[in-house]
Structure 1
Amino acid sequence: MGVLAARQRMGAAALILAASAILSRLMGLVRDKVISWQFGAGNEADMYFAAFVVPDIINYLLAGGFMSITIIPLLSRRFEEDEADAWRFFSCVFFWTLAISVLLTGAGILAADSLARLVAPGFSPEQWQRLAFFMRIILPAQIFFLCGACLMALLYLRRQFSVPALAPLIYNGCIIAGGLLLPHIAKARGMTGYCAGVTVGAALGAFALPLCVAAGGGLRLRLVWRHRLMRRFLITALPLMLGQTVIMLDEQFLRVFGSLAGDGAVSLLNYARRIAQVPVGLMGQAAAVASYPFLVALLTQGDKERFDQTLRTALRAGLGLIIPCALWMMASAWPILGVIFQGGRFGAAETQAAVPLTQIMLASTPLWIVYMVLVRAYYAHGDTLTPAVTGTVMTLACLPLYHYWAVPRGAWAIAALSGLSVSLYVLWLAGIWLRRQGGTAFAGLCALGLRAFFCALPGAALCWWLSACCLRTLPLPPIWAACVTLTLSGCVFALLFLPLSAIFAPSILESVWQRLRKKRAA
C-alpha cells in the first residue's frame, strides 16, 4: 500500500475533523470548567495561563502549528517521484526539528526566571517565581508537539485524519486527569497537576499515538542531517518562523497585557476567548484543515477553476454558519458562561465580568473563519511570505496601542483591540488576494454574510431580551437559571432563524439539509 493510499474525500475528512473538533472543544470546556471551579479568576489561574506564553512562542518559532502546511507540498511531490528519497527528506526535517526543539526548550527552562518577568510584567516577585516553576513543567511539551507535528503532516498526506483528530482529546484528558489526580498522588499544590498533565498529554496524544500509527504504516526514519530539499523547506517555513503575526500572538497579548490590567484579568480574558473560539474551532478548523491537501492537489494539477470553487465553498460554508452562531452566543453570553464556568470559586461577579469580554471577542469570529480558510489558500500557492509580512506589520503597529491605550482602560479594551487587530489583518489579506487572484473565490460572500446577519438578528435581539429578563426574575439557583435560560434562548433563536434563513438565505443550511435527506433516504 503506497504512501498516498487510503484517500478520503474532502467531505469525509471534514466530517472526521468536525467531530473531533466538537469533542475536543467540549473536553476543553470541561477542563476549563474544572479549573474555574477550583481556582476561579485569581492569581493561581492567572499564572497557569501565563505559563503558556513562552512555550507557545517556541512552537510558533519552529512553525509547529504550520508543519503540515510547509512540508506537505514538498513531501507529496517527492513521494510521487522517489519514495526512498522522500523518506530521507522527512527524516532530515524530523531530526532537525527534534534537535532545535530540545535546545530551545532547554534554554527556556534555564532562563525561566527572567522570562517570567518578561511575559507577565504586572505580576509580583512571588508570582514570578511560581510562574517560572509552571513554565519549567510545561516547556518540555513543545518537544513532543513539534516532533509530533512532523508525524501529523505525514498522516495528513496519507489522508489519515482519524489520528490527528484523536490527539487533542487525549491531550485535554491528560490535563484534566493530572489536575484532579496528582494533588492526591504526589501532594502537588495548586495547578501543578494541570501543568504536568500538559506535558504528559503532549507526549501521549501529540507524539506517541501518531508515531505508533505512522510506524504501523511503514514509517522509515533514519538519522539524516542534510538533504537538498531542506533549503526549499526553510525558504517556505522561515516566514512562518520569523513572522509573528497578530493571529499567532493574539492569545499571548491577552496574557502579557492582561497581567498589567489587574488581578484576574488574565483568567477572565482567557475564559472569554475560550468561549469565543468554540465556533471558530467547530466551523473553521475542520473545513480549513481538511481542504488544504485538496487545494494543494488541485494547484499541482493546474486546475485553478476547481481550486477557486473549493476555496469558495469552504469560505461560504464557514461564514454562513458562524455569523448566526456568533450573534446567538453574544445574546446568550450570560447563560453560556453561567453553565460552563460559574460555580465553586468562579462566582456571579466573575461571570458578569466575563460577559462583555466574551461578546467583544465573538464580534470578530466571522473574520477568524475567513482567515483560517484564506491563509491556507496562500500556503497552497507556496506563499508564506505575504501572511507573515502583513501580520508582522500589524503586530508592530498594535504593540504600542496595547500598552498605552488598552492597558489603562482595562480588560475590555484589551479584548476590543484584539478583535480589531485581527479583523484589520484579515481584511488586508483578503484585499491582497483579490488584487492578485481575482474575486472568483469571494463571489457572493458579502451578500451571503449580510443575509445570514439579518436572518439571525431578530432571534438574537429576542434572546438578548430573554436573557436579561431571566437574569433578573428567575427564582432558581444560578446554574439552573443559566440552564433554563440557555435552553429557552436556543429554542427561540432556532424558531426565528430557521424559517427566515430557509426563505431568504437557503444556501446557509443547504449542506446540512442535503446530509439529512441522504440519511433519511438511506
Structure 2
Amino acid sequence: MAFLTGRQHMGVAAVIMAASIFLSRFMGLIRDKVISFYYGASIESDIYFASFVIPDFLNYLLAGGYFSITLIPLLAEYFGKDEKDGWSFLSSVLFWVGVVATAGTCVAWLSAPYLAKIAAPGFDAASLTRLTYFLRIILPAQIFFLLGSCLSGVLYMRKQFLVPALVPLVYNASIIVGGLLMIDKGMEGFCWGVLFGAVSGSFMLPYIAVRSGGLQWRFTLNHRGLKKFVLLALPLMIGQSIVVLDEQFVRIFGSLTGDGAVSLLNYSRRIMLVPVGVVAQAAGVASYPFLAALVAKGDTDEFNATLSRALRNTMLFIVPLSFWMISAAEPTLRLIFQQGSFGAQETLGATPLLQIMLASVAFWGVQQMIGRAFYAHKDTITPAVVGSIVSLLAVPVYWYLGKTIGVMGVALAGTMSVIIYTVALSTVWRHRFGGDAFKGVVRMFLLSAVLCVPAMAASIFTVQQIPLLLKDQPLTGAFASLAVSGTLFCALYACTSWLLAPKAIEPVIAFVRGRILRRA
C-alpha cells in the first residue's frame, strides 16, 4: 500500500495519468469490441448505450465529475491549517453527498419508465421497457461514483495519483467480466458490471487508500467549509458544459436517426476520446494541483508560463495524432470492431462519423486545460455559464442536422459545439486574464497542422493501397495499414519538423534524450 500511496511530482503524475487513461480507453475499446462482436449496431446495443443517459446526467447534475476539482483547493486549505479540521470537512462533505446522491437516485429509479422516454425518444414500447430495466440496474452506481470522487480528491490533494489511476481500470474490467458471464442474457450483464465496478473500483479503492493514510471520521454535519464547497459546485450542478452533455446529445438525437445509429456513434466517439484522454485529459489532471498551488501563492507569471507550456505541449502531440487517426479511421474501426455481428457495412457507416469527431480533438485538448485554469482560480461559474449557453444553442443544431443529414449530422453537431465552446471559453479567459497563457499556442497548432500535411497524404495513400493487396484478409490488412501508415506518418512528420521547424519538437527531443540518459 505504501507504493500505491506514494507522492509524485508533475512530470511523473502526467505519465501515470496518461498511462491510466490510455489503458482505460484501451479496456473501453475491448468492452465495446465484445459488445460489437455479439450485438453489432443493433437495437439491443442501442438500448445499453442509451441506458447511461439518465445516470450520467444525474452524475453531472450533482457535479460528480468535478467533485475532486472543487474539493482540492478546499481540502488543501483546511488540511494545510489543521489536519483534524480537514478530516471534519471531508466527513461533512461525504455525509451530505451520500444523502443527496441516494435521494436523487431513488427518485430517478422510481421515475425510470418516464425518464426512458426522454433518454431515447426514438425507441418503440418494447425497447423502452428494456431500457427502463437497464436504467434501474445502473442508477445506484452513481452513489458510489460520487462518494469515490470525493475520496479521490483527497488523493489528488496529496499528489497521490496511482490509486485514482487504477480506478477506471477496475471499473472497465468489471463491465467486461460482467457482460461475458451473463452473455446469454443480452446486455444485462454489462449493466451489473457497471454497478459492481462502481462499488469495487470507484469507491472501495480510494476508500482503502485514504484510510491507509490516516482517515479519521469526524461527523460535523455543518462544517463552515461546506457552504464554500456548495457554492463552488453549484454552478457545475446548474450549468452543464457541452463537453459533458455531448455524449448524451449523441445518444438522444441518435435514437431519432434509426436503429444502430446510437451504437455507431458510441463506437466512433469511444475511439475519438482515446487521444483526448491520453494527451489532453492526462495533462489537465496532472497539471491542475500544481496550477491551483500557483494561484494560492499568487505567482501569476509562473501560472501563465506553466499553462502556456502545457497547452503548447498538448498541441505538439495531439495535432499530429488526430491527423493520422483521421487518415486511418477506416482500418482502425475495421481492426477493432469488424468481427461477429459488426460487419463491413457497419465499418463503412462509422468511418465518416469518426473522422468528423476527430476534427475536434485539438479543441478538446485546449478546453481541458483552460477549464481547469478557471477552476484553479476557484471560478466554477464562468465555465458553467459559457457551457450552458453553448449547450442550449447546440440543441436545435443537433435536432436540425440530425433530421436533415441523419447520423452524420449528429456527429457534425457535436464537433461544431465543442469547437465553439472552446473558442468562447478561451476568449473569456483572454479578456479576463490576458493572453500570456496562450503565447505560442495558436502558432504551435498551425505549425503542427502544416507539418502534418505531407505525412497525412502519405498515410492516406498507404491506407488506400494496402487493402488492395490483402483483399481476402480484412483484419490483417487493417493491421498492416495501421502499422505502415503510422510508421510512415511518424517518420515523415519527424523529418519535416526537423528540417522546417526544429525548435517546435524540442520538448519531444528533450523527453526522449532524458529517457535514454536515465536508462544509460
Q: State the AA in 1 paired with 2:174.
A: C
CA contact 1:32–1:271 (8 Å) conserved in 2: yes
What residue in structure 2 maps to residue 207 of structure 1? 203
Whole-angstrom distance in 2 between the partners of 1:202 and 1:171: 6
TM-score, scaled to structure 1: 0.96
Secondary structure of the residue that 2:258 maps to in structure 1?
A: coil
Alpha-carbon distance, 1:70 to partner: 0.6
What residue in structure 1 maps to residue 245 of structure 2? 249
Whole-angstrom distance in 1 between the partners of 2:503 and 2:216: 46
Q: State the Cα deviation string for residues 463-507 of structure 1 (Å, max 9, x = none).
A: 112222334453332111111111111122122111112233335
Instruction: Please show how residues 193-204 of structure 1 align to structure 2 within 5 Å.
Output: 193-204=189-200
What residue in structure 1 maps to residue 182 of structure 2? 182
What residue in structure 1 maps to residue 24 of structure 2? 24
What residue in structure 2 maps to residue 87 of structure 1? 87
Instruction: Please show how residues 87-486 of structure 1 align to structure 2 within 5 Å.
Output: 87-183=87-183, 189-486=185-482
Whole-angstrom distance in 2 between the partners of 1:488 and 1:175: 33
Secondary structure of the residue that 1:259 maps to in structure 2?
A: helix
Alpha-carbon distance, 1:439 to partner: 1.0
Whole-angstrom distance in 1 between the partners of 2:505 and 2:30: 29
In the alignment of these two chains, the number of paired residues is: 514
Alpha-carbon distance, 1:119 to partner: 0.9
Instruction: Please show how residues 30-69 of structure 1 align to structure 2 within 5 Å.
Output: 30-69=30-69
CA contact 2:254–2:402 (8 Å) conserved in 1: no
What residue in structure 2 maps to residue 505 of structure 1? 501
Whole-angstrom distance in 1 between the partners of 2:246 and 2:468: 35
CA contact 1:324–1:452 (8 Å) conserved in 2: yes
Which segment drifts farther, 215-224 or 449-458?
Answer: 215-224
CA contact 1:258–1:407 (8 Å) conserved in 2: no
Alpha-carbon distance, 1:438 to partner: 1.0
CA contact 2:33–2:337 (8 Å) conserved in 1: yes
Whole-angstrom distance in 2 between the partners of 1:508 and 1:34: 41
Whole-angstrom distance in 2 between the partners of 1:64 and 1:506: 43
Secondary structure of the residue that 1:256 maps to in structure 2?
A: helix
CA contact 2:137–2:191 (8 Å) conserved in 1: yes
Alpha-carbon distance, 1:102 to partner: 0.7
Whole-angstrom distance in 1 between the partners of 2:169 and 2:504: 29
Secondary structure of the residue that 1:260 maps to in structure 2?
A: helix
Alpha-carbon distance, 1:520 to partner: 2.3
Whole-angstrom distance in 2 between the partners of 1:337 and 1:507: 35
CA contact 2:257–2:406 (8 Å) conserved in 1: yes
Whole-angstrom distance in 2 between the partners of 1:54 and 1:427: 28
Alpha-carbon distance, 1:399 to partner: 1.1
CA contact 1:451–1:504 (8 Å) conserved in 2: no
CA contact 1:245–1:388 (8 Å) conserved in 2: yes
Whole-angstrom distance in 1 between the partners of 2:154 and 2:503: 35
TM-score, scaled to structure 2: 0.97
Secondary structure of the residue that 1:229 maps to in structure 2?
A: helix
Which segment drifts farther, 170-179 or 84-93?
Answer: 84-93
Q: State the Cα deviation string for residues 398-429 of structure 1 (Å, max 9, x = none).
A: 11222233233201011001100110111011
Q: State the Cα deviation string for residues 223-250 of structure 1 (Å, max 9, x = none).
A: 3321111111111110000001211100
Whole-angstrom distance in 2 between the partners of 1:354 and 1:225: 50
CA contact 1:295–1:377 (8 Å) conserved in 2: yes
CA separation of 1:167/1:475 partners in 2, compared to 1, >3 Å: closer, same or farther?
same
CA contact 2:401–2:413 (8 Å) conserved in 1: no
Q: State the AA in 2 paired with 1:115.
A: L
Secondary structure of the residue that 2:256 maps to in structure 1?
A: coil
Whole-angstrom distance in 2 between the partners of 1:212 and 1:465: 52
Q: CA RMSD in A?
A: 1.3
Which segment drifts farther, 83-92 or 325-334?
Answer: 83-92
Whole-angstrom distance in 2 between the partners of 1:259 and 1:295: 41
Q: State the AA in 2 paired with 1:306.
A: E
Gap regions ≥5 residues in structure 2: none
